[in-house]
Chain A
Amino acid sequence: MPQVQITGLAKRYGSITALENINLTIREKEYVSIIGPSGCGKSTLIKCIAGIVKPDEGEILVNGKSMGDVPIQHRRIGYVFQELTLFPHMRIIENVSYGPRVQGQSLQSSRALVSELLDLIRLSDRASSFPSELSGGAQQRVAVSRALASGSTLLLFDEPFGALDAKVRMELRYEIKRMTTDLGLTVLHVTHDQEEAMSISDRIIVMKAGRIVEDGSPLELYLRPKNIFTANFLGEANFLEGKVVEQTPAGSVVQVGDTCLQTVDQTRRVGEEVIVAVRPEFLQVTQDLKGQNCLRGKISGIRFMGHMTRFEVEVSEGRTLSVEHPICFGELDIEPQDEITIAASPPHIRVYPVPEDGLDRELQLE
């Protein structure tokens, strides 16, 4: 049975719709990330699951049981906040054993579990310290153990690493992922950081303005996003306007400016106005000027960054494309104003209908 099942969930604050028609299923032991820009409703969603916020409509089933009016303290769902919420007046060991204690267990019986968890996060030697004596990263590790000690198999993370340095964030996410996988836990992890979501999730749910936009594995969403917002949100993309001029068995051919691009799209019709998206890393420098999907242009801005070179290419009619060239493809001998040819293979050229509200509004991040 799915561990979490949500149907028709909705939540409004006055005239603002925080959540609208949310339907989703989470299976046991899945690590699912929910990403989206600020204000998209991702925090509200997990707060509804935890019981911190009461939804206006819809149903939440956890392990088959309806959460209806069940208060927070009876849901047995672990929650880790973005702010540091270790109880400042209690030592680390008292914090971690809080869950078992308030549920009636004696200190004795919970001792084994608590020390095992402290070992797991390598903080056994800090058991008697107070939270203020620990770094932010250490405090969040304790917060996760504290949630685990209370006996939950479902964990909800609300941007847990948001307040930490980039480097700490990176190491912490892998450690927590390892821990939750080893212990066979189900995790719903809310974040605005798409790199974080992709690196540790089995599945990613993309949200925007209170709705679920798309749902899939990191690879699927990155390489074959079905929605234009997803395409822009999960990584950088160049957008070009074009028109479908032909449908071949391999896919549509889209005319962009003077060039015709062969794609693998099967959904658009001939004559339709479309938007074409290509990620900067899939635009490759080529010497074969007659090859498929070639675009000629002039280089206008180069940055040598060590692990890659990033440059801008001005193609016809003032359009500028960003290109990323990883160093493993060989060093580039280029200078500004050089003429260059770039190309992309058909599967890397994604095709979308023109958004109703216009491209800028559709892609808006805040």
Chain B
Amino acid sequence: MHSFTVRIGPVGFRVGSAWPRPVAALEAIYAGYPGPRDGIADFTVRLEPERPWRRFVRPSVAIRGDFILPDAVPMALRHGFLAAEMGMNLQMALGQRRFLLLHASAVERDGRVLLMTGESGAGKSTLAALLGERGWRLMGDEFALVDPVSGLIHAFPRAVSLKNAAIAMLRAEASEDRFGPELDGTPKGTLRHLRPRADAVARMDEPAAPALLLFPRYGHDRAIRPMGEAEIFVRLTQASTNYVALGEAGHAALARLVKTVPTRAIDYPDSAAALAIVDMLWAEQAR
């Protein structure tokens, strides 16, 4: 078993792989990240041949670990690094119990956090990555961790997963050595991963208070819409993978977020328009 360990924000991971390649890719993209606290991983991911002989013959990577989806489809070995990333996300989605998990990106400025959530394709990841290159601290492009006790957002700055057109957009902003290999023909099209800036990694243990929540939607005319508390609450329960599992603590954390953080739904035709809306709302609304 080839082994890799890393700490991303408050969460330690151990990834074991039957092949060396996925581990080499992880080591490259997570260069500069610390190891798990006290050398103890919160979660274990295993990349194994789907059947013993598939280690060598048409290698096929099954994603296993502490928490698994029984009907997950195995992946080609050239996508092994992606399998590791999916495996780590899966452990968070199914196993995380310390924080309320929101499927949202998070960026910070002046000690306050902008959260963006929405369905896949809404652009939360791309917008967070762009903001992360333009003066904001990237706290995460996939999961925002809400501390049920303090209400603060904890950073989870894993490698940003860029899809299709977003790859070229970020290559214009970030140096080549921060990018992972190009993965084509994945279920989501072409993917490349981007390591967050060194300061975002160095400051990943600094939580911060949420100040503005946006529900972006890409591919529509520019529009800004206020949302009622009930709608926000329901959409955030849908955006959380562990709201039910946390019980009362999860409910209280989510209710506090909805009651205290200004929220808008925004539609945008292109990222320049989205960034302009963010600037405007941040100046007006963030408190």
Partners in one complex: no
Binding site for B on A (CB under 8 A): none
